[in-house]
Chains A and B, each alone.
Chain A
Amino acid sequence: MAEKEKWRSTTILSVRRGGKVVVAGDGQVTAGATIMKSNARKVRRIGKGDVLVGFAGATADAFALSERLEAKIEQHPGNLARACVELAKDWRTDRYLRRLEAMMAVADARTSLILSGTGDVVEPEDSLIGIGSGGPYALAAAKALMSLDLSAEEIRAPRHEDRGRHLHLHQRQHRHRKPRHDMSSSFTPREIVSELDRHIVGQHDAKRAVAIALRNRWRRQQLEPELREEVLPKNILMIGPTGVGKTEISRRLARLAQAPFIKVEATKFTEVGYVGRDVEQIVRDLVEVGIAQVRAAKRRDVEAQAEARAEDRILDALVGASSGQHARELPQIAAPGRTRQEGGRAGDEGYRRRADVRDPACRTRRSRWSTSPTCWARHSDRRARSAA
């Protein structure tokens, strides 16, 4: 096997038959005329484990090649041919890549291809691949065996003392995950996930992670103060191609968080001293969000009190601060049974009626509302007339 050839020492064979594909390789590493090692792994799984590659040639080049292929597969998931072609296209433009002394046999559940270090993508005949110095022999043997009725695995098996890995692939079954719908008390992780499920399909792992993180804030608050200081948040890094729901999760999360929440684009920031915002601004903005939230919450607490006061002010403006209880109650106009003491509000019938008092009938510009009984009489008079 130790010929002085460019590709020394390697045999990679890939066979596809009956919906199965096998990539097998020997494990021999040769330096000059010496065999250094006979159990090297020359076949790997890349991508999400659904693509097999076997490589022959200079090791470093082979790794460079497979790394690039991996990146392309990520960009074009489920389309191996496209990934390979894109890789080959890079070849023509990228100076670094020009001559890698390696060759790869690539196979997924549907496609078998040969990638060379010079930018070729070759679709082999009969989906049979043999590369490396021993490749042609293995290929010939495999071709002969193909005429027999053997499975893909059996065909690669009779090759010489094979220590290399063989891996098979089946068409992967997509698993359906049903959204969970058991609601429990507010904002348990499960609750958050099911809330997110209402708007976002799939991505269960990401939903779980953020739900756990949110819940952990609450858990931390229940701890003893000394321990609480020690517990640091488990920050999350979400990785995924565009358009799968990362930003959508954050948008929905903002509504669930019940905590100061801010979403920023990392691209907005530049180093201190350059044009652009500096990162501390994130925290400053977050404080503003927090203040707005706290203020809204506190406002709700004092709402009843504030409402009473606001009503007093309106009444002062309408009937004069010194007017008596009688004028303030407006029994003849307010809807029956809806007085201020009973908490009539804007929008409630009684209140609106009272507010209607300020209508063109009694208004003289820049003057106070008259509190005289005659005005009220006149007012209700006109109301009755306009209604008729």
Chain B
Amino acid sequence: MLGKAFGQKGKKRRMTVADAHAPLVAEEADKLLDEDQVIRDAIHTVENHGIVFLDEIDKICARSEMRGGGDVSREGVQRDLLPLIEGTTVATKHGQVKTDHILFIASGAFHTAKPSDLLPELQGRLPIRVELKALTRDDFQRILTEPEASLIKQYVALMLTEGVALEFTPDGIGAIADVAAQVNASVENIGARRLQTIMERVLDEASFSASERGGEKIVVDGPYVHSRVDDLAKDQDLSRFIL
């Protein structure tokens, strides 16, 4: 009997009156909306306020180092992107969309390629260039503590679900930051994600046994951190390569 209240593609759904309220409101609202007007407005906002974030743009660079053949050049993609960024008209099923005023934000690591390896035309269309700095030890320390959902807070909350009070001392946090910075420098720089590996390693034992240790308190201080991860942080021996 409520079936006819849910006319969507004729599909019947059973629910309580209380549950039925939300979908009914949505349906009624849709009936009140002028679909053409919605699309017209949407295209207008897209044309004037739309923002496109292009991640990993460095991956479509032709590599500067001649790496021999075999690799398909992604230059074509850059060429396709050109008109889009410069301003063109794209046909969508809702009508024509002009891209002149859409904001494009591109980002890339540019490890192997350089920004200057992009097509010159494309470079010209990304006039603002900001360089993000590699993270230092101090940054790691701040990342661990400052953000609203920082890693430390996440772990403390997770452990609390088992009734284990996890506490990080300042020198413990410092030690984690130290190790992360050191491993990043000596192995491979993966930035802030390194913190996650380190934290997981530091708390591995605690995470495993937390379920049986309800009510206990675990303090993570400098020595605790070092005892867990020092083998990770061992400096790669470079001296064997140096005369």
Contacts and interface: CB of A to CB of B under 8 A. Distances in A.
Range, interface on chain A = 35 or more
Contact of B43 (A79, A241, A290, A358): A290
A259 B142 contact: no
A302 B128 contact: no
Contact of A283 (B59, B84, B192): B84
A357 B17 contact: yes
B138 interface: yes
B49 A217 contact: yes
A236 B97 CA distance: 21
A242 B190 contact: yes
A352 B18 contact: yes
A356 B188 CA distance: 61
A309 B32 CA distance: 10
Contacts of B200: none
B5 to A, nearest CB: 6
A232 B194 CA distance: 39
Interface string A207-247: 01110011001001100000000011111111111111111
Interface string B84-119: 110100111110010111111111111100010000
B105 A282 contact: no
Interface in A348-371: 351-352, 355-358, 366-368
A235 B103 CA distance: 6
Contacts, number: 352
B139 interface: yes
Nearest to A270: B77
Nearest to B80: A279
A208 B97 CA distance: 29
Contacts of B91: 280
B80 A269 contact: yes
Interface string B125-148: 111111111111011001100111
Interface stretch (A135-143, A154-162, A195-203): A195-203
A271 B242 contact: no
A2 interface: no
A37 interface: no
Contact of B147 (A78, A201, A241, A355): A201
B182 to A, nearest CB: 10
B42 A310 contact: no
Given A210-B105, A287-B92, A201 B142 contact: yes
Interface string B30-42: 1111000111011
Interface in A333-359: 345-346, 351-352, 355-358
A221 B48 CA distance: 8
Contacts of B158: none
A250 interface: yes
A174 B24 CA distance: 58
Contacts of A345: 21
Contact of A121 (B4, B54, B133, B243): B243
Nearest to A123: B242
Interface string A112-125: 01000000111100
A176 B146 CA distance: 14
A284 interface: yes
A266 B50 contact: no
A242 B189 contact: yes
A257 B81 CA distance: 23
7 contacts: A82-B186, A236-B104, A243-B192, A290-B43, A291-B38, A302-B33, A305-B32
Interface of A: 74-79, 81-82, 84-85, 88-89, 96, 113, 120-123, 174, 176, 179, 198-203, 205-206, 208-210, 213-214, 217, 220-221, 231-247, 250, 253-254, 257, 259-267, 269-272, 274, 278-280, 282-284, 286-287, 289-291, 293-295, 298-299, 302-303, 305-307, 309-311, 313-314, 317-318, 345-346, 351-352, 355-358, 366-368
Given A264-B53, A279-B80, 14 more contacts: A82-B185, A201-B143, A238-B105, A240-B134, A245-B192, A260-B51, A283-B102, A290-B46, A294-B45, A299-B30, A302-B33, A307-B25, A346-B18, A351-B18
